[in-house]
Chain A
Amino acid sequence: NAGVTQTPKFRILKIGQSMTLQCTQDMNHNYMYWYRQDPGMGLKLIYYSVGAGITDKGEVPNGYNVSRSTTEDFPLRLELAAPSQTSVYFCASSRGGDTGELFFGEGSRLTVL
C-alpha cells in the first residue's frame, strides 16, 4: 500500500494564480482531510470529507475549495492565491468511527510570492 500520496511536494505560485493540490489514498478510508501547518501554529483543519460526495468546512476554509468524487481522491483547490496561503499542506485519511488515527501524506510546501 502506498498510503496517502500528495502532489506536488513543492510549488511556488504568484499572487492571484490558482492551483490544485492532489491527494489520493489506497486504504479505502471513508474520511479524508486537508490541514495546513504554519510554524508554531500546529495543524489547522481546512476541509474534511466523510465519504464520496460529502464535504464540510473545517477551521480555516476561506480561499480553498474541495471535492470528493471518489473514495480515493480528495483534491484541494486554491483560487486567487495570496501570501497568507504560504504554508505546508497535509492531506490525511482515517477509517473513521471509533478509530481516529490519521494517516498523513508527506506534505506539500506551497509558497505564494
Chain B
Amino acid sequence: GENVEQHPSTLSVQEGDSAVIKCTYSDSASNYFPWYKQELGKRPQLIIDIRSNVGEKKDQRIAVTLNKTAKHFSLHITETQPEDSAVYFCAASLGTASKLTFGTGTRLQVTL
C-alpha cells in the first residue's frame, strides 16, 4: 500500500518567517495530495490540496508544490503568524474511494 513520510516532525519559526514541510510518497499512482491543519484539541481541517496534473497551487500565504517524478510534495507557508501554530498533516490517495494515507504530522510553532 501507500506509504507517506513527512519531515520535519517539529518546526519552530519566528513570526514573519517562512515554513516548509516536506512529504514523500511511495505509490506513483497516487493522484491527490491534501494538507490538513489540526489545532490543539481540535479536528483536522483541509487547508489546501493538489492533484497530480498540477505542479503548484497557491492560496494566499500557503502554497503546495508537487514533483511527480521524485514523488514528493511540500507545503510552504509565508509570513507566518502565531495562529499558524498547529500540527500539519500531508496525505496521499488514489482511486475513487478517497482513501487517504496520512503522514505522521509536523508540529509548527510560530514564536513572537
A and B are partners in one complex rather than unrelated chains: yes
Most chain A C-beta atoms within 10 Å of own C-beta, residue among B9, B32, B43? B43
B11, CB-defined interface residue at 8 Å: no
What 1/0 mask marks residues of chain A from 2 to 45 whose CB sits below 8 Å from any chain B CB? 00000000000000000000000000000100000000111111
B99, CB-defined interface residue at 8 Å: yes
Within 8 A of A (CB), among B65-108: 89, 93, 96-105
B89 to chain A, nearest CB (A): 6
Category for how many chain B residues contact A: 20 to 34
Q: In the complex, A44→B102 CA distance in Å?
A: 7
Q: In the complex, A97→B44 CA distance in Å?
A: 21
Q: In the complex, A43→B97 CA distance in Å?
A: 17
Given A59-B1, A107-B43: A43 and B102 within 8 A (CB)?
Answer: yes
CB closest chain-A residue, reference B6: A42
- What are 16 A-B contacts with C-beta separation under 8 Å? A42-B102, A42-B105, A43-B89, A43-B100, A45-B101, A48-B99, A50-B97, A96-B97, A97-B96, A100-B49, A100-B98, A102-B34, A102-B98, A104-B43, A104-B44, A105-B43
Binding site for A on B (CB under 8 A): 1, 6, 9, 32, 34, 36, 42-46, 49, 89, 93, 96-105
